[in-house]
Chains A and B, each alone.
Chain A
Amino acid sequence: MPKTETVLDEVTIRFAGDSGDGMQLTGSQFTHTSALVGNDVSTFPDYPAEIRAPAGSLFGVSGFQLHFSSKAVLTPGDAPDVLVAMNPAALKTNLGDLKVGGILIANTQAFDDKNLERAGYATNPLEDGSLGDYRVYPVDITTMTLGAVAEVGLGQKAALRCKNFFALGLVYWLFNRPLEHTLDWLKEKFHGDVYDANEKALKAGYHYGETAEAFDQSYVVEQAQIEPGLYRNITGNEALALGLLAACQLSGLKGYLGSYPITPASDILHFLSKQKHLGFKTFQAEDEIAAVGAALGAAFAGGLGVTTTSGPGMALKAEAIGLAVMTELPMVIVNVQRGGPSTGLPTKTEQSDLLQMLYGRNGESPVPIVAAQSPGDCFYAAIEAARIAVRHSVPVVLLSDGYVANGAEPWKVPKMADLPRIPVRFATEAEGFEPYSRDDDLGRPWAIPGTPGLEHRLGGLEKQHLTGNVSYNPENHEFMCQLRADKVAKVADHLPPTAPHGDADGTLVIGWGGTFGALRAAVDQARQHGAKAAHVHLRHLNPLPKDLGEVMARYERVLVPELNLGQLSFLLRAKYLRAVEPYTKLQGKPFKVSEVLARILEAKEVAA
């Protein structure tokens, strides 16, 4: 019987298995191939905090979801159309998300009594009729993988590791993807038996799809209309690291990262540690405090001082950031947010550090805050943070989150020559030098050690205006607190006007950070449903754009979706004395487009 091909606009797939099953690799290979064949793609890796949780356990399930389309893609997709479940635990924890009528590919061999019991199944769901809502394809992935790689002669354990590639091959067939890109990748990574075995497993999976009668049709997702140019896949952490490196080239500053390993920020440290040829130095400190301290020292010495961390690390860095505020040294402080409080949900995403960044220090201690909205956008957000830091001589907080940091998307590679330079002017003139004098942006001179005649002393004690000497003068303290606040407010002078995406009245959806894709897609869909809606996504959380209050006033309703308990809502109400409607979610997961869409369409009464 000839097999049929069906054309689809978009598909969401989730690969799920044990944390040792290689699901992240499988997903990223599928992502890469999909991008190379011209789809738009967005991904969402979801993995446990345990490195190797006990096999078959519910908490050890690792998942990777990707959304590919012949149209523009803004999110990794709400509900998967296809679920690949490598064991019962993966089925149990992911089935609830699978669309009714969706495709379920399950590795039957893993559905043995032991694994079923570990997953809490009394009976085998593949056999007890409980999966009637789905198109179930039971496939003995394990046995067929072992058969395919037998001739290579790997041990049983190594051979079993190839089963993710069998699954990948099968899904490649299902969506008419070529194998060549993954084979190329395998060639780069492995040699000899390991390469042979994985190649055989991948091809066996593909051929199984071709020949097995159960699979009677495959699917085609055509190329998307994508802006011409050179592309690569990029994660948020990679893009952020590249942005910091680019900022150094654009400014001429020596880059310096002080960091302490923490999930989900460590990849930035790893990436930058490899770029010494660009003159960027990295220092893995003994703790979070030393990491920010060293970055501050580097800033004093004339470098672009950077520290990277996540929420718990930010808590430890607070005092040193206060010192950077007082010494007015340019720094970039990166917080890749994760679920909190305390250790919280290290591998899950959240946006709950906004108020910590704004107010989590002693005294009046204002800092500019920039937030990245997508993986590729982390590059531009990092440059923006560095630009503000240098222009206003101020520590700047750059917010990312686990979702943006680990998510990947095709990214149009920028041309360095097209990016505006970051002007830096070190003080050199001893005549009339005053370390706390001001320029138009209220920045102070950056006079670095090694410059003759500009020797001066900084510190955490209050500074006298102009001279920078220690001062306990009451009027001076009030003046300086106001000056530091005014300086941060000055950042808003450089922001473009706020341009809402969508209608000029109706519901205004205001968001920030990694929720961009879900909010933008939800607003577009709401408008297709006939609702009047618009979207403003804030890159700058401190200061807010000068015209934001005015923009908000044009809309009857302001909806503020956030992955916290309403922190931006709180700020908007306080600043603009305006009723806003929080829409919050705190599940360690990003918003689904459908959730936000439903909320936009459901007009709620809001108390002022």
Chain B
Amino acid sequence: MTVYPNLQPTDPSGQTRKDFQTDQDVRWCPGCGDYSILANVQRTLPKLGIPRENVVFISGIGCSSRFPYYMGTYGMHSIHGRAPAIATGVKTLNPELSVWVITGDGDALSIGGNHLIHALRRNVDLNILLFNNKIYGLTKGQYSPTSEVGKRTKSTPYGSIDHPFNPVSVALGADASFVARVLDVDAKLMPVVLERAAAHGGASFVEILQNCSIFNDGAWADISDRKTKHATQLELQHGLPLLFDKGTKGIGLDNRMHPRVVDVEAEGLDKVLVHDETNPAMAYLLSRLTYPEFPTPMGVFLSIPRPTYDAELEAQMRHAGRKATGDGMADMQALLESGRTWEVR
């Protein structure tokens, strides 16, 4: 017997941005980078061809984690750091669903670090968007695990002495199969990255560099400034040379595998590395490039096919299911009567 509803799904071709909005007032501070991310996600979802009832947004705690309230899908604003675990339960119970995790630098990398790395390692088919503003916003301005050393905050009046995490490096270290980075205000690249993250089978990890206009304003100004971003950002494109600054510079290696900046005119294009999304070693090397020594890479670092946890689980279920008769009550009765039994008369 099935108790699960079997209803006509929404036709996804007719869905628009509006279908993914709610009537709730958006309660982020004016100027917050989250607005731009929300708009991009709402614009992207109708393009995915998924009925909105099959989309689930799970978040933890923090400013970013209010996100599900503003999405016209199923959602849960859960508890601090645990969104990947809850999302794993949603996805593995019903693999038909498109499950998104919304998290922040404190939520994902501090209190929830364990869940993040294990969701990535297992390759559960989740889309994890980590909003990195390098600060705790909701608790009003303490340093986060991505804050730079020396950062002065309410809880580090003498400057932070914590070495920060690089989220992309963490994700790669956890054997993520899809890792990308975008800037909150980059309306050109973000939809591309979001669509690719959604299309990727397995855990997709996207670090979104996000500005907190109240507690860490300008955290990414160096690389987001329109006037200089051609030199401060490195746009990653699979199969193309790692060029920046209008093609005048590129990323190469010295003979000890240290990355270095190549002057294209002086040294030639063949000294510039070609981006390969399927190479985890290159992805890690690129993740270590940071401004100001290097431009900050943006786009897809890594995208490799790897069996997903949820699909593997379904395969095991199907395989085991061959033992079943299809009549659950009868199979249950047989299990109850299995092993060594005896009749008392």
Contact = CB atoms under 8 A, between A and B. Distances in A.
A449 B97 contact: yes
Contact of B53 (A228, A300, A454): A454
A3 interface: no
B3 A426 contact: yes
Report which residue of A251, A277, A460 has the largest number of chain B beta carbons within 10 angstroms of its beta carbon. A277
A460 B77 contact: yes
A270 interface: no
Contact of A295 (B24, B56, B84, B89): B89
Contacts of A120: none
A281 B76 contact: no
A470 B26 CA distance: 12
B88 A457 contact: no
A452 B335 contact: no
A450 B50 CA distance: 11
Contact of A450 (B89, B97, B344): B97
B331 A278 contact: yes
Nearest to A379: B336
Interface in A241-299: 242, 245-246, 248-249, 251-254, 256, 258, 275-279, 281, 283, 285-287, 289-291, 293-299
A413 B79 contact: no
Contacts of A453: 53
B73 A461 contact: no
Interface stretch (B185-193, B216-224, B238-246, B320-328): B320-328
A249 B342 contact: no
Interface string B173-203: 0000000000000000000000000000000
B293 interface: no
A267 B24 CA distance: 46
A311 interface: no
Interface residues of B, number: 71
B343 A229 contact: yes
Given A242-B335, A301-B97, A451 B323 contact: no
A417 interface: yes
Contacts of A455: 52-53, 72-75
Interface stretch (A19-27, A32-40, A349-357, A523-531): A32-40
Interface in A381-432: 413-417, 424-426, 428
B270 interface: no
Interface in A56-72: none
Interface string B59-93: 00100000011011111111100101111111111
Given A320-B82, A452-B8, A457-B76, A300 B333 contact: no
Contacts of A17: none
B317 A279 contact: yes
Nearest to A427: B5
A38 B93 contact: no
Contact of B333 (A253, A303, A416): A416
B77 A415 contact: no
B158 interface: no
Contact of A278 (B4, B7, B76, B324): B324
A461 B77 CA distance: 8
Closest 10 CB pairs of A and B: A297-B89, A459-B77, A293-B85, A294-B89, A276-B320, A290-B85, A252-B3, A297-B86, A286-B118, A449-B74
B228 interface: no
Nearest to B115: A290
B3 A281 contact: no
A298 B3 contact: no
B313 interface: yes
A52 to B, nearest CB: 28
B341 A232 contact: yes
A413 B51 contact: no
A449 B335 contact: no
Given A231-B341, A297-B76, 7 more contacts: A32-B340, A279-B328, A286-B115, A320-B82, A414-B336, A428-B5, A448-B4
